[in-house]
């Protein structure tokens, strides 16, 4: 079993050959629009259910013909519906696949767990029961290889509460209660993750690993600094388990002071959400708390550093097993809304242990999510501002030029947002071997009155990413919720840029 800790020199040594394993060109902006398809990564996120429902060859035909796809990001591990399963129940079904909802979706490992890789963890029984004995990697890899398509394993940090022994890996909230999420500082979870990626890397002829964790630390969560509905309760923020507390003490953080600070922050948030404005306003009062309890910020960075260490140990595990297999990460959409979270996503730092990074740039659903972020954070930290004032502030600090608070749920964010985010991300990793692959949304469900994807809007977003210099794109969230005409919009962009010949 690999060591959990890794020093800076080891990171840099491993990362030195990062881009070479991808067999794709770097991120030079000038040549981006003129290179042929063989030099561009056209990826799509797709789950096992699509191959079961439509047939493997039929799905691959559709993806190649409509979307010019050459890389499958195959959802092999998740308990969530975001990247696996059919359309979310209650949302309109797309024009392909079975025309019914999979109401009994379970999730888990859609490949075959090989026991020798899970000896050092109590989390063993994770095989997805959804499709019997089907091993989706065994099913898809040979068919994809015949077509010259790559298969990257797509893993998500989403679990369910009835997995055997899961309670021993779960985070602890401010009051010591178990949360649904798992703690990256818990050795049992850490060992499970390294076993999982080593299993995929050694047992199958895969072309990469992508892992995603859409979470943040207790400070940002307490403030409601996300687009989640509803925002997390300030008394349920994480993590305060024994492993996190031990690590905090090793870093010189006063655990009791940190807990006291979060209890005071909980009072502040509850009062703010009830409309009780502090004498000097919400923003000033927050800073009083932060100055009195700097442990709040220290605890946030403790969580962030722990996630980065998880990236590092996954990277090292894969590279030790098979150095040629690329490794990368899915960066949560909160990166486009929350400046605190963006500060934590230091792409240049992540580049030390990343062959590629998928930065979520979902422009269609992004309008509603931006407005939800304003609703959440606008009831706490920025309660002194109007919603439009908050949106204007956010555009200024994040570098966007989008519509008003009232408009964006119905219009989405523009292709210019994708262009700007792509340019910013590429500049952040300039001089490294790390590739930036923008995540482009196609038909992520939105409310009936809110913006919907069209072939033209998808085409515009893909064009924007490539014109900004992206060496590839990932069509997201999952093929099973995409309408075929909208998928064709991505292919139209690729053909227009002459990336398909």
Contacts of 204 by beta carbon, 8 Å cutoff, 6+ apart: 111, 137, 138, 141, 153
99-110: average pLDDT? 97
Q: What is the pLDDT of residue 6?
A: 44
Band the pLDDT of 500: cuts 50, 70, 90. Answer: low
107: which 2 tokens?
């999730």
Antiparallel, parallel or unpaired: β 356-360 and 327-331: parallel
| Number of alpha carbons in the 13 Å side-chain half-sphere of residue 487 | 27
The terminus-to-terminus CA distance of the chain in angstroms comes to 45
Band the pLDDT of 325: cuts 50, 70, 90. Answer: very high
Give the residue among 368, 398, 364, 370 at the shortest CA–CA distance from 476.
364
CA 315 to each of CA 2, 217, 501: distance values in angstroms, whole numbers, following the listed order: 11, 22, 34
Band the pLDDT of 362: cuts 50, 70, 90. Answer: very high
109-131: average pLDDT? 98
CA 354/CA 360 separation, integer angstroms: 16
270-302: pLDDT as tens digits: 999 999 999 999 999 999 999 999 999 999 999
CA 281/CA 383 separation, integer angstroms: 8
Which is more confidently placed, 286 or 499?
286
CA 129 to each of CA 108, 135, 137, 152: distance values in angstroms, whole numbers, following the listed order: 8, 11, 15, 22
Contacts of 58 by beta carbon, 8 Å cutoff, 6+ apart: none
Q: Long-range pairs for 482-485 at CB < 8 Å and ≥24 separation?
A: 482/94, 482/442, 482/443, 483/94, 483/95, 483/442, 483/443, 483/453, 484/62, 484/66, 484/94, 484/95, 484/96, 485/95, 485/455
Helix 255-273 vs helix 295-321: angle between axes, to the nearest 10 degrees?
A: 110
Band the pLDDT of 158: cuts 50, 70, 90. Answer: very high
pLDDT at 106 over 60: yes
178: which 2 tokens?
């178990």
Give the residue among 465, 470, 467, 459 at the shortest CA–CA distance from 495.
459
What is the Cα Rg of the chain in Å?
Answer: 22
* 78 neighbors 156 (Cβ within 8 angstroms): yes
Give the CA angle between residues 97, 100, 107 to the nearest 5°.
80
Band the pLDDT of 23: cuts 50, 70, 90. Answer: very low
* 48 neighbors 134 (Cβ within 8 angstroms): yes
How much of the chain exceeds pLDDT 70, in percent? 92
CA 178/CA 304 separation, integer angstroms: 20
210-234: pLDDT as tens digits: 999 999 999 999 999 999 999 999 9
Q: What is the pLDDT of residue 22?
A: 54
Count CB-CB contacts under 10 A for residue 242.
Answer: 11
> What are the φ and ψ backbone dihedral angles of 311, each rounded to 5 degrees?
-55, -45
Antiparallel, parallel or unpaired: β 170-172 and 71-78: unpaired
pLDDT at 445 over 90: yes
381-408: average pLDDT? 98
Three-state SS letters, 124-136: CCCECCCCCCCCH
64: which 2 tokens?
């190649």
480-492: average pLDDT? 98
The third-level CATH classification (topology) of the domain covering 8-19+39-217+299-365+388-496 is TIM Barrel (3.20.20)
CA 304 to each of CA 146, 157, 213, 287: distance values in angstroms, whole numbers, following the listed order: 41, 15, 11, 21
Give the residue among 275, 358, 349, 353 at the shortest CA–CA distance from 312.
353
Count CB-CB contacts under 10 A for residue 10.
Answer: 15
164-176: pLDDT as tens digits: 999 999 999 999 9
Q: 77: which strand partners?
A: 109, 155
CA 418/CA 398 separation, integer angstroms: 13
């Amino acid at each position: 079993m690999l060591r959990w800790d890794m020093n800076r020199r080891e990171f840099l040594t491993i990362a030195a050959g990062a881009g070479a394993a991808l067999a794709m060109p770097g991120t030079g902006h000038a040549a981006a629009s003129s290179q042929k398809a063989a030099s561009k990564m056209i990826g799509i996120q797709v789950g096992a259910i699509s191959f079961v429902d439509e047939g493997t060859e039929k799905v691959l035909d559709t993806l190649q013909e409509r979307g010019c796809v050459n890389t499958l990001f195959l959802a092999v591990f998740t308990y969530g519906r975001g990247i696996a399963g059919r359309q979310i129940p209650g949302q309109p079904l797309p024009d392909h696949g079975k025309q019914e909802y999979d109401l009994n979706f379970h999730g888990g490992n859609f490949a075959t767990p090989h026991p020798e890789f899970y000896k050092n963890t109590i989390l063993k029984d994770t095989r997805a029961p959804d499709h019997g004995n089907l091993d989706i990697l065994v099913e898809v890899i040979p068919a994809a290889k015949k077509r010259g398509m790559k298969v990257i394993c797509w893993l998500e940090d989403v679990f369910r509460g009835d997995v055997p022994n899961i309670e021993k890996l779960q985070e602890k909230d401010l009051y010591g209660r178990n949360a649904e999420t798992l703690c990256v500082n818990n050795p049992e979870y850490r060992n499970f993750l390294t076993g999982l990626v080593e299993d995929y890397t050694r047992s199958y002829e895969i072309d990469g690993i992508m892992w995603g964790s859409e979470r943040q630390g207790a400070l940002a969560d307490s403030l409601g600094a996300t687009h989640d509905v509803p925002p997390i309760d300030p008394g349920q923020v994480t993590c305060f388990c024994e492993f996190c507390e031990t690590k905090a003490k090793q870093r010189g953080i006063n655990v009791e002071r940190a807990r006291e600070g979060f209890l005071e922050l909980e009072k502040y948030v509850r009062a703010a959400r009830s409309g009780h404005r502090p004498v000097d306003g919400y923003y000033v009062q927050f800073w009083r708390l932060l100055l009195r309890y700097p442990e709040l910020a220290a605890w946030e960075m403790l969580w962030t550093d722990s996630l980065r260490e998880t990236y590092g140990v996954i990277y090292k595990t894969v590279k030790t097993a098979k150095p040629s297999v690329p490794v990368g990460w899915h960066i949560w959409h909160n990166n486009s809304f929350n400046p605190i979270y963006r500060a934590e996503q230091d792409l240049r730092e992540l580049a030390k242990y990343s062959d590629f990074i998928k930065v979520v740039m979902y422009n269609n659903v992004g309008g509603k999510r931006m407005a939800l972020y304003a609703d959440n954070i606008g009831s706490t930290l920025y309660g002194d501002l109007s919603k439009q004032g908050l949106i204007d502030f956010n555009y200024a600090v994040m570098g966007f030029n989008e519509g008003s608070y009232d408009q964006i749920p119905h219009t989405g964010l523009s292709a210019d947002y994708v262009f700007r985010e792509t340019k910013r991300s590429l500049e952040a990793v300039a001089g490294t071997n790390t590739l930036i692959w923008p995540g482009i949304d196609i038909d992520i469900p939105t409310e009936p009155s809110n913006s919907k994807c069209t072939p033209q809007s998808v085409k515009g977003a893909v064009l924007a990413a490539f014109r900004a210099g992206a060496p590839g794109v990932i069509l997201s969230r999952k093929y099973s919720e995409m309408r075929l005409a909208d998928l064709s919009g991505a292919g139209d962009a690729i053909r227009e840029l002459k990336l398909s010949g």
